[in-house]
Amino acid sequence: MNIQDNVKTYYGEVLKSSADLQTDACCTIDSIPNYLKPVLANVHPEVSSRYYGCGLIAPLGLDGATVLDLGSGAGQDVYALAQLVGAPGCVIGVDMTAEQLRIANEYKGWHSEKFGFANVDFIEGDIEKLGALNIPENSIDVIVSNCVINLVEDKAAVFRAAYELLKPGGEFYFSDVYADRRLSEELRHDPVAQGECLGGALYWNDFLQIARNAGFRDPRLVTDRPLTIQNDELKERLAPAKFHSATYRLFKIDGLESACEDYGQAVVYKGGVTNAETIFMLDAHHAIEKDRIFPVCGNTYRMLKESRFAPHFEFHGDWSAHYGIFPGCGVASPFTERDDAAAMSGACC
Protein backbone atom coordinates (compact mmCIF):
# COMPACT_ATOMS: atom_id res chain seq x y z
CA MET A 1 0.00 0.00 0.00
CA ASN A 2 1.44 3.43 -0.85
CA ILE A 3 1.79 6.07 1.84
CA GLN A 4 -1.29 8.07 0.83
CA ASP A 5 -3.56 5.00 0.81
CA ASN A 6 -2.16 3.93 4.17
CA VAL A 7 -2.74 7.40 5.65
CA LYS A 8 -6.28 7.61 4.27
CA THR A 9 -7.11 4.20 5.77
CA TYR A 10 -5.42 5.02 9.07
CA TYR A 11 -7.09 8.40 9.59
CA GLY A 12 -10.33 7.58 7.77
CA GLU A 13 -11.06 4.08 9.12
CA VAL A 14 -8.59 2.72 11.72
CA LEU A 15 -8.61 5.68 14.12
CA LYS A 16 -11.96 6.74 15.48
CA SER A 17 -10.64 9.16 18.08
CA SER A 18 -7.40 10.43 19.65
CA ALA A 19 -7.74 7.64 22.26
CA ASP A 20 -7.01 5.01 19.56
CA LEU A 21 -3.43 6.23 19.02
CA GLN A 22 -0.72 3.80 20.09
CA THR A 23 1.89 6.42 21.04
CA ASP A 24 1.77 9.93 22.38
CA ALA A 25 3.29 11.18 19.10
CA CYS A 26 0.10 12.72 17.81
CA CYS A 27 -1.23 14.02 21.12
CA THR A 28 -0.42 17.50 22.34
CA ILE A 29 0.73 17.69 25.92
CA ASP A 30 2.28 21.18 25.62
CA SER A 31 0.98 23.33 28.42
CA ILE A 32 -1.82 25.29 26.85
CA PRO A 33 -1.64 29.04 27.54
CA ASN A 34 -4.64 30.34 29.48
CA TYR A 35 -5.87 32.54 26.64
CA LEU A 36 -6.20 29.50 24.37
CA LYS A 37 -8.27 27.42 26.79
CA PRO A 38 -11.62 29.13 26.06
CA VAL A 39 -10.76 29.15 22.35
CA LEU A 40 -10.29 25.37 22.34
CA ALA A 41 -13.34 24.89 24.56
CA ASN A 42 -15.43 26.54 21.79
CA VAL A 43 -14.63 23.72 19.36
CA HIS A 44 -17.34 21.07 18.97
CA PRO A 45 -16.49 17.89 21.00
CA GLU A 46 -16.91 15.62 17.96
CA VAL A 47 -14.22 17.64 16.16
CA SER A 48 -11.91 17.76 19.21
CA SER A 49 -12.19 14.02 19.75
CA ARG A 50 -10.57 13.55 16.31
CA TYR A 51 -7.65 15.83 16.99
CA TYR A 52 -4.39 14.12 16.01
CA GLY A 53 -1.97 17.04 16.26
CA CYS A 54 1.41 17.05 17.99
CA GLY A 55 1.81 20.70 19.00
CA LEU A 56 0.16 24.09 19.34
CA ILE A 57 -0.04 25.96 16.07
CA ALA A 58 -1.37 29.30 17.26
CA PRO A 59 1.23 32.02 16.62
CA LEU A 60 0.63 35.50 18.01
CA GLY A 61 -0.69 38.45 16.05
CA LEU A 62 -3.27 36.71 13.87
CA ASP A 63 -6.01 39.37 13.96
CA GLY A 64 -7.47 39.69 10.44
CA ALA A 65 -5.00 37.19 8.92
CA THR A 66 -5.57 34.75 6.08
CA VAL A 67 -4.42 31.34 7.33
CA LEU A 68 -3.99 28.04 5.48
CA ASP A 69 -3.90 24.74 7.44
CA LEU A 70 -2.14 21.89 5.60
CA GLY A 71 -3.63 18.52 6.58
CA SER A 72 -6.40 20.07 8.66
CA GLY A 73 -8.01 16.71 9.58
CA ALA A 74 -11.34 17.05 11.35
CA GLY A 75 -10.73 20.78 11.79
CA GLN A 76 -9.84 21.44 15.43
CA ASP A 77 -7.01 23.87 14.60
CA VAL A 78 -9.03 25.53 11.85
CA TYR A 79 -11.91 26.27 14.23
CA ALA A 80 -9.52 27.50 16.94
CA LEU A 81 -7.65 29.74 14.49
CA ALA A 82 -10.95 31.03 13.08
CA GLN A 83 -11.56 32.68 16.46
CA LEU A 84 -8.04 34.14 16.61
CA VAL A 85 -8.18 35.73 13.13
CA GLY A 86 -11.72 36.97 13.86
CA ALA A 87 -14.42 38.05 11.40
CA PRO A 88 -12.09 40.02 9.09
CA GLY A 89 -9.74 37.05 8.66
CA CYS A 90 -10.25 33.60 7.18
CA VAL A 91 -8.92 30.07 7.63
CA ILE A 92 -8.73 27.48 4.86
CA GLY A 93 -8.13 23.81 5.71
CA VAL A 94 -6.81 21.31 3.16
CA ASP A 95 -6.95 17.54 3.68
CA MET A 96 -7.09 14.46 1.47
CA THR A 97 -9.06 12.10 3.74
CA ALA A 98 -12.79 12.22 2.99
CA GLU A 99 -13.86 11.02 6.45
CA GLN A 100 -11.84 13.73 8.20
CA LEU A 101 -13.30 16.39 5.89
CA ARG A 102 -16.81 15.07 6.42
CA ILE A 103 -16.56 15.75 10.18
CA ALA A 104 -14.93 19.14 9.58
CA ASN A 105 -17.71 20.24 7.20
CA GLU A 106 -20.53 18.80 9.29
CA TYR A 107 -19.86 21.33 12.08
CA LYS A 108 -19.21 24.43 9.96
CA GLY A 109 -22.67 25.87 10.64
CA TRP A 110 -22.49 25.01 14.34
CA HIS A 111 -19.21 26.95 14.69
CA SER A 112 -20.29 30.00 12.69
CA GLU A 113 -23.37 30.27 14.88
CA LYS A 114 -21.22 30.02 18.02
CA PHE A 115 -18.65 32.58 16.79
CA GLY A 116 -21.17 34.94 15.19
CA PHE A 117 -19.32 34.88 11.85
CA ALA A 118 -18.38 32.41 9.09
CA ASN A 119 -14.73 32.57 8.03
CA VAL A 120 -13.75 28.94 7.43
CA ASP A 121 -13.44 26.81 4.32
CA PHE A 122 -12.28 23.22 3.75
CA ILE A 123 -10.79 21.95 0.51
CA GLU A 124 -10.23 18.32 -0.43
CA GLY A 125 -6.73 18.08 -1.89
CA ASP A 126 -3.22 16.75 -1.76
CA ILE A 127 -0.76 19.09 -0.05
CA GLU A 128 2.03 17.66 -2.22
CA LYS A 129 0.20 19.33 -5.13
CA LEU A 130 -0.82 22.64 -3.59
CA GLY A 131 -0.35 24.37 -6.96
CA ALA A 132 -3.43 22.51 -8.22
CA LEU A 133 -5.73 24.08 -5.62
CA ASN A 134 -6.03 27.52 -7.25
CA ILE A 135 -4.77 29.40 -4.22
CA PRO A 136 -3.01 32.52 -5.55
CA GLU A 137 0.73 32.89 -4.92
CA ASN A 138 1.72 35.51 -2.30
CA SER A 139 -1.80 35.47 -0.83
CA ILE A 140 -1.45 33.78 2.58
CA ASP A 141 -0.30 35.49 5.80
CA VAL A 142 0.34 32.36 7.85
CA ILE A 143 0.49 28.69 6.86
CA VAL A 144 0.08 26.18 9.69
CA SER A 145 0.24 22.40 9.83
CA ASN A 146 -0.01 19.93 12.70
CA CYS A 147 1.58 16.49 12.53
CA VAL A 148 1.20 16.12 8.77
CA ILE A 149 4.52 16.68 6.95
CA ASN A 150 5.84 13.37 8.34
CA LEU A 151 2.99 11.62 6.50
CA VAL A 152 3.92 13.14 3.15
CA GLU A 153 6.19 11.41 0.63
CA ASP A 154 7.55 14.50 -1.17
CA LYS A 155 8.21 16.78 1.78
CA ALA A 156 10.35 19.22 -0.22
CA ALA A 157 7.39 19.87 -2.56
CA VAL A 158 5.29 21.02 0.40
CA PHE A 159 7.94 23.51 1.60
CA ARG A 160 8.48 24.89 -1.92
CA ALA A 161 4.74 25.39 -2.47
CA ALA A 162 4.28 26.94 0.98
CA TYR A 163 7.00 29.46 0.16
CA GLU A 164 5.19 30.42 -3.07
CA LEU A 165 1.79 30.82 -1.38
CA LEU A 166 3.02 33.00 1.49
CA LYS A 167 3.01 36.78 1.24
CA PRO A 168 6.47 38.35 1.72
CA GLY A 169 6.90 38.60 5.50
CA GLY A 170 4.48 35.71 6.03
CA GLU A 171 5.38 32.54 7.86
CA PHE A 172 4.98 28.78 7.91
CA TYR A 173 4.35 27.87 11.56
CA PHE A 174 4.00 24.14 12.10
CA SER A 175 4.39 21.20 14.46
CA ASP A 176 5.72 17.84 13.42
CA VAL A 177 7.67 14.77 14.55
CA TYR A 178 11.44 14.52 13.97
CA ALA A 179 13.88 11.62 14.29
CA ASP A 180 17.43 11.84 15.62
CA ARG A 181 18.66 9.94 12.52
CA ARG A 182 17.62 8.82 9.02
CA LEU A 183 15.33 5.77 9.34
CA SER A 184 15.68 2.60 7.25
CA GLU A 185 13.41 2.08 4.21
CA GLU A 186 11.74 -0.77 6.07
CA LEU A 187 10.77 1.45 9.01
CA ARG A 188 9.74 4.30 6.75
CA HIS A 189 7.22 1.96 5.09
CA ASP A 190 5.99 0.19 8.21
CA PRO A 191 2.23 0.97 8.11
CA VAL A 192 1.78 1.39 11.87
CA ALA A 193 4.97 3.43 12.37
CA GLN A 194 3.91 5.56 9.42
CA GLY A 195 0.33 6.04 10.63
CA GLU A 196 1.55 6.89 14.12
CA CYS A 197 3.61 9.78 12.67
CA LEU A 198 7.00 8.11 13.34
CA GLY A 199 8.00 6.14 10.22
CA GLY A 200 7.92 9.21 7.97
CA ALA A 201 9.54 11.55 10.49
CA LEU A 202 12.39 13.56 9.03
CA TYR A 203 15.85 13.45 10.53
CA TRP A 204 15.96 16.98 12.02
CA ASN A 205 19.08 18.05 10.11
CA ASP A 206 17.55 16.92 6.79
CA PHE A 207 14.49 19.02 7.63
CA LEU A 208 16.64 22.11 8.17
CA GLN A 209 18.29 21.59 4.78
CA ILE A 210 14.98 21.03 2.97
CA ALA A 211 13.51 24.18 4.53
CA ARG A 212 16.55 26.26 3.55
CA ASN A 213 16.51 24.89 -0.01
CA ALA A 214 12.88 25.97 -0.31
CA GLY A 215 13.86 29.54 0.58
CA PHE A 216 13.22 29.55 4.34
CA ARG A 217 16.78 30.45 5.21
CA ASP A 218 16.59 30.70 9.00
CA PRO A 219 14.22 28.10 10.56
CA ARG A 220 13.44 29.00 14.17
CA LEU A 221 12.58 26.37 16.79
CA VAL A 222 9.63 27.47 18.94
CA THR A 223 9.06 24.43 21.23
CA ASP A 224 10.07 20.79 21.41
CA ARG A 225 9.46 17.74 23.55
CA PRO A 226 10.74 14.13 23.48
CA LEU A 227 8.15 11.55 22.47
CA THR A 228 7.34 8.39 24.37
CA ILE A 229 6.39 5.29 22.41
CA GLN A 230 4.01 3.35 24.62
CA ASN A 231 3.60 0.35 22.33
CA ASP A 232 6.56 -1.89 23.27
CA GLU A 233 6.65 -3.81 20.01
CA LEU A 234 6.71 -0.63 17.96
CA LYS A 235 9.30 0.86 20.29
CA GLU A 236 11.57 -2.15 19.76
CA ARG A 237 11.19 -1.96 15.98
CA LEU A 238 12.18 1.70 15.97
CA ALA A 239 15.03 1.48 18.52
CA PRO A 240 17.55 2.98 18.90
CA ALA A 241 16.03 5.96 17.03
CA LYS A 242 14.62 8.68 19.25
CA PHE A 243 11.82 11.08 18.33
CA HIS A 244 10.83 14.62 19.20
CA SER A 245 7.76 16.65 18.49
CA ALA A 246 8.74 20.21 17.60
CA THR A 247 7.17 23.44 16.42
CA TYR A 248 9.14 25.58 13.98
CA ARG A 249 8.45 28.96 12.40
CA LEU A 250 9.83 29.71 8.96
CA PHE A 251 9.60 33.30 7.72
CA LYS A 252 9.46 34.14 4.03
CA ILE A 253 11.79 37.12 4.02
CA ASP A 254 14.12 37.76 1.12
CA GLY A 255 17.09 39.21 2.97
CA LEU A 256 17.50 36.48 5.61
CA GLU A 257 21.03 35.10 5.77
CA SER A 258 22.07 31.49 6.40
CA ALA A 259 23.56 32.45 9.79
CA CYS A 260 22.85 35.06 12.43
CA GLU A 261 25.15 37.99 11.68
CA ASP A 262 25.86 40.85 14.06
CA TYR A 263 25.23 44.38 12.76
CA GLY A 264 25.05 45.93 16.22
CA GLN A 265 21.25 46.21 16.02
CA ALA A 266 18.63 46.14 18.76
CA VAL A 267 14.84 46.23 19.11
CA VAL A 268 12.43 47.37 21.79
CA TYR A 269 9.04 45.65 22.15
CA LYS A 270 6.45 48.40 22.59
CA GLY A 271 3.67 45.96 23.56
CA GLY A 272 0.30 45.72 21.87
CA VAL A 273 0.45 42.17 20.47
CA THR A 274 -2.71 40.47 21.76
CA ASN A 275 -1.94 37.95 24.54
CA ALA A 276 1.70 39.12 24.84
CA GLU A 277 1.30 42.02 27.24
CA THR A 278 4.73 41.86 28.91
CA ILE A 279 6.85 39.39 26.94
CA PHE A 280 6.90 38.68 23.22
CA MET A 281 8.19 35.16 22.43
CA LEU A 282 9.64 35.06 18.93
CA ASP A 283 11.04 31.55 19.40
CA ALA A 284 12.60 29.28 22.03
CA HIS A 285 15.63 31.58 22.30
CA HIS A 286 14.06 35.04 22.05
CA ALA A 287 11.82 36.15 24.92
CA ILE A 288 11.62 39.91 24.36
CA GLU A 289 10.52 41.95 27.37
CA LYS A 290 8.38 45.03 26.84
CA ASP A 291 10.21 48.39 26.95
CA ARG A 292 13.67 46.80 27.26
CA ILE A 293 16.48 47.20 24.73
CA PHE A 294 17.07 43.77 23.22
CA PRO A 295 20.18 43.22 21.03
CA VAL A 296 19.39 41.15 17.92
CA CYS A 297 21.14 39.59 14.92
CA GLY A 298 20.31 40.79 11.41
CA ASN A 299 17.87 37.92 10.80
CA THR A 300 15.84 38.54 13.97
CA TYR A 301 15.78 42.27 13.13
CA ARG A 302 14.28 41.45 9.71
CA MET A 303 11.80 38.89 11.13
CA LEU A 304 10.37 41.64 13.30
CA LYS A 305 10.71 44.59 10.91
CA GLU A 306 9.47 42.88 7.74
CA SER A 307 6.55 40.90 9.20
CA ARG A 308 3.16 41.64 10.80
CA PHE A 309 4.98 42.34 14.09
CA ALA A 310 6.69 45.54 12.86
CA PRO A 311 4.17 48.05 14.33
CA HIS A 312 4.86 46.68 17.81
CA PHE A 313 8.63 47.28 17.80
CA GLU A 314 11.14 50.12 17.75
CA PHE A 315 14.19 49.38 15.62
CA HIS A 316 17.69 50.61 16.43
CA GLY A 317 20.71 50.43 14.15
CA ASP A 318 21.18 49.80 10.45
CA TRP A 319 23.31 47.65 8.14
CA SER A 320 26.31 49.98 7.84
CA ALA A 321 28.72 48.00 10.06
CA HIS A 322 29.20 44.27 10.50
CA TYR A 323 30.68 42.82 13.71
CA GLY A 324 30.97 39.13 12.73
CA ILE A 325 28.81 36.23 13.78
CA PHE A 326 26.13 37.02 16.39
CA PRO A 327 27.24 35.44 19.69
CA GLY A 328 25.14 32.59 21.06
CA CYS A 329 23.19 31.77 17.90
CA GLY A 330 24.68 28.29 17.49
CA VAL A 331 27.44 29.14 15.00
CA ALA A 332 30.92 30.04 16.19
CA SER A 333 34.02 31.29 14.39
CA PRO A 334 35.92 28.29 12.92
CA PHE A 335 39.27 29.86 13.82
CA THR A 336 41.24 29.33 17.00
CA GLU A 337 41.41 32.37 19.21
CA ARG A 338 44.86 33.94 19.23
CA ASP A 339 46.73 33.01 22.35
CA ASP A 340 48.48 36.28 23.18
CA ALA A 341 50.95 34.64 25.59
CA ALA A 342 52.13 32.17 22.89
CA ALA A 343 52.37 34.96 20.29
CA MET A 344 54.58 36.99 22.63
CA SER A 345 56.92 34.01 23.14
CA GLY A 346 57.46 33.77 19.36
CA ALA A 347 55.85 30.33 18.98
CA CYS A 348 54.96 29.67 15.30
CA CYS A 349 53.11 26.34 15.43
Rounded Cα–Cα distance for residues 306 and 26 (Å): 33
Q: Are 325 and 263 in contact (CB under 8 A)?
A: no
Task: Single out the residue of 3, 59, 2 nearest to residue 201, CA to CA.
Answer: 3
Shortest Å, Cβ 11 to ligand SAM: 4
How many of the other CB atoms lie within 10 Å of CB of 95?
26
Among 51, 107, 280, 309, binds ligand SAM (CB under 6 A): 51
Mark the segment that binds ligand SAM (CB under 6 A) among 69-77, 132-140, 182-190, 212-220: 69-77
Among 97, 245, 299, 300, binds ligand SAM (CB under 6 A): 97
| Stretch touching ligand SAM by CB under 6 A, among 73-81, 250-258, 317-325, 329-337 | 73-81
Q: Are 67 and 89 in contact (CB under 8 A)?
A: yes
Quick check: bond before 33 cis, omega within 30? no
From CA 74, how far away is CA 87, in angstroms rounded? 21
38-46, 50-58, 238-246, 338-346 -> range binding ligand SAM (CB under 6 A): 50-58
143 binds ligand SAM (CB under 6 A): no
Query: What is the sign of the dihedral through the CA atoms of 222, 86, 74 and 37?
Result: positive
If binding is defined by CB under 6 A, does position 52 make contact with ligand SAM?
yes
67 binds ligand SAM (CB under 6 A): no
Please tell me whether residue 107 binds ligand SAM under the rule CB under 6 A: no
Q: Which is nearer to ligand SAM, 66 or 146 (CB)?
A: 146
From the list 6, 22, 26, 302, which residue makes contact with ligand SAM (rule: CB under 6 A)?
A: 26
Task: Say whether residue 82 binds ligand SAM (CB under 6 A).
Answer: no
Q: Is 79 in the site for ligand SAM (CB under 6 A)?
A: no
Q: Which of residues 190-209 bind ligand SAM (CB under 6 A)?
A: 197
Q: Which of 85, 95, 177, 297 binds ligand SAM (CB under 6 A)?
A: 95
Interacting residue with ligand SAM among 43, 90, 148, 157 (CB under 6 A):
148
CA separation (Å) from 308 to 63, 85, 269?
10, 13, 13
Question: CA–CA separation, 324 vs 319, rounded Å?
Answer: 12
Q: Is 96 in the site for ligand SAM (CB under 6 A)?
A: yes
Our finding on whether 152 is near ligand SAM (CB under 6 A) is: yes
Other Cβ atoms closer than 10 A to 207? 21
Contacts of 282 (CB under 8 A, 6+ apart): 220, 288, 300, 303, 304
- How many residues touch ligand SAM (CB under 6 A)? 25
- Lateral strand order in the sheet of 265-269: 293-296, 265-269, 313-316
Interacting residues with ligand SAM (CB under 6 A) = 7, 11, 26, 51-53, 71-73, 76-77, 94-97, 100, 126-128, 146-148, 151-152, 197
